[in-house]
Amino acid sequence: MIFRTADDGRYSVTDPEIGLEFQINGVHRDRFGDLVGEMAVACGILGARVIDGPLSAGVFNFSNPRHRDDWAKRLARLARTNGKLDWSAKLEEVCRQVIGAEHDTGAPAVILRNVTARPASPMLEALGLRFPREQASSLFGPGDGLKSYLALKLADEQARAGIRVGYFDWEMDQYEHRDRQARIDPEMPDIVYVRCERPLVHEVDRLRRIVRRERLDYVYLDSAAYATDGKPENAVSVMAFFRAFRQLGIGGTIIAHSRREDGEYQPFGSVFWHNSFRATWHIKRGSTSPDGEVVTLGALPRKFNLGPCPSAVGLTVRFQGDRVYFDHTDVATIEEFAESLPLWQRIRAVVKTGPQTLVTIAGELNHDNVESLDRIVRKHKNVFTKVSGKDGITRIALVESRIA
């Protein structure tokens, strides 16, 4: 029996003398700890009942001896070997090889001082939002926050920049997303769309092949709850989701939901959602124009593990005829978000129109501690500077204004 491992984690075991072949794919541990996977058996034995190629195909339990015996009896019946071939011995050899290979899977042990320093994690940035290119991030918020529209806009911007982007969707369909992209960008740069029906742990082998075939660099998953095999509150289900996501071999952004009343800082469900993402953005809907055509959004960073936390971003989404436009706006000027912003961003909004005294800034922000404002100004020297007016009074100004 000849055992081979394919690059994408598949196995094959063949006996060329009798034309026997076992093709194995999607090997993983189930919830009971057994090693299972899809297996197709083909043979060139004269008289075998072969339908469309494989003699038999299905999910096989490599850890369960009784399952091997059941398969051996079935294969003997389908192949009509009448005891001339020891199917039990062949399956035993297949199980031994696959179990051994799975035990050896993974990175070898290393001495830490021999490990070269990791290069800085590459970032993706679009519309002012920043994401680690090789890690898992999230856009989360209530159901009416235009998260899917925003994700598609981000994917479109990245595709325009030459990044191979995928959109794996559990919620809608290709026609809805096609219409949305056409409204966002009539030129429609390449976005690879995949409709998904089953949880990610069951789709990952198919999606991993698509990632490699399409040479994808980054992917969006819409959305977490539908892609989870179990309740999103269940820690085991969430950890299985992230193990499956890592098998894709690329970074991505997962759209997640949150409760309106208590979901300001992390997605709904197990704490392992928040813990496992490297970056999270809370997408919050602000005001809507009376005609419903203009919506303000706040993108508020809640977690960023791989560098300085980025600033909150304000967006205005305009629905005009058959087009949708995303425009930047100063998030500090949006009443619904101002109170939740870091104090330095609120100060910046006040002095954006011109230099102001600390007393004036305190009054504008309804903040009664001028000294704390002064400390924040001094801490953010790359943002603020102090200037003296003709009256000799020191005021706070923006560094960018002084440079200009």
The 10s digit of each residue's pLDDT in 283-300 is 999 999 999 999 999 999
Tell me the two tokens of residue 362.
């305190």
Residue for token digits 């690879």?
192
Query: In the prediction, which pLDDT does 127 show?
Result: 95
What single letter denotes the amino acid at residue 387?
Answer: V
Residue boundaries of the structural domains of the chain: 2-103, 123-338, 343-403
Taking the C-alpha atoms of residue 174 and residue 167, their distance in angstroms, rounded to an integer, is: 10
How far apart are alpha carbons 221 and 12 in whole angstroms? 31
pLDDT at position 236? 93
pLDDT at residue 54, rounded to an integer: 81
Which pLDDT score, from 0 to 100, does residue 61 have? 95
AA letter at 292? G
The span from the CA of 389 to the CA of 159, in Å, is 48
Structure tokens at 212: 């490699």
Give the C-alpha separation, 201 to 245, whole Å. 8
Distances (CA, A) of 367 to 346, 358, 362: 11, 10, 5
Helices marked H in 7-86: 65-79
Phi-psi category of 188—alpha, beta or left, where left has phi over 0 and alpha has psi -120 to 50?
A: left
Q: State the DSSP H helix or E strand holding residue 39, giving kind and residue range, or none if neither.
A: strand 35-42
- Return the DSSP state at 398: E
Tally of helices (H runs) and strands (E runs) in the chain: 13, 18
Q: Of all helices (H) and strands (E), which one includes residue 89?
A: helix 87-103
**Residue 342 has what pLDDT?**
80
Q: Residue 396: CB partners within 8 Å, gap ≥ 6?
A: 347, 351, 355, 356, 357, 358, 361, 377, 384, 385, 386, 387
pLDDT for 109: 85
What pLDDT score was predicted for residue 40? 92
Closest listed residue to residue 357, CA positions, set 374, 342, 372? 374
φ, ψ for residue 50, nearest 5 deg: -105, 125
- For the segment 123-139, what is each residue's pLDDT rounded down to a tens digit? 999 999 999 999 999 99
Spatial separation of the C-alpha atoms in residues 126 and 155, rounded to whole Å: 9
Compute the distance between CA of residue 101 and CA of residue 93 in angstroms, rounded to an integer.
12
For residues 306 and 279, the answer to whether their CB atoms sit within 8 Å is yes
Neighbours of 260 (CB within 10 A): 14
Other residues' Cβ atoms within 10 Å of the Cβ of residue 95: 20
Q: Are 248 and 211 in contact (CB under 8 A)?
A: yes
CATH topology of domain 123-338: Rossmann fold (3.40.50)
Give the side-chain half-sphere CA count within 13 A for 229.
17
**Which among 277, 83, 239, 249 is positioned nearest to 164, based on CA atoms?**
249
Residue 143: name the closest of 224, 274, 258 by CA: 258
Task: List the one residue out of 214, 213, 242 whose CA is nearest residue 227.
Answer: 242
- The answer to whether 123-338 and 343-403 have equal CATH topology is no
Mean pLDDT of successive 10-residue stretches along the chain, which has 404 residues: 78 88 88 89 69 78 94 89 88 93 79 85 93 96 93 98 97 97 97 97 91 96 96 94 94 93 86 96 93 94 90 94 94 77 85 90 87 90 88 88 48
In sequence order, what DSSP letters do the residues of 144-192 get, joined into one string? TS-HHHHHHHHHHHHHHTT--EEEEESSS-HHHHHHHHHHH-TT---EE
pLDDT at position 144:
86
Take residue 240 and report the two structure tokens written for it.
């299985």
Q: Distance between CA atoms of 330 and 337, rounded to whole angstroms?
A: 10
Domain 343-403, classified CATH 1.10.10.10, yes or no:
yes
Predicted confidence at residue 128, as pLDDT, reads 93
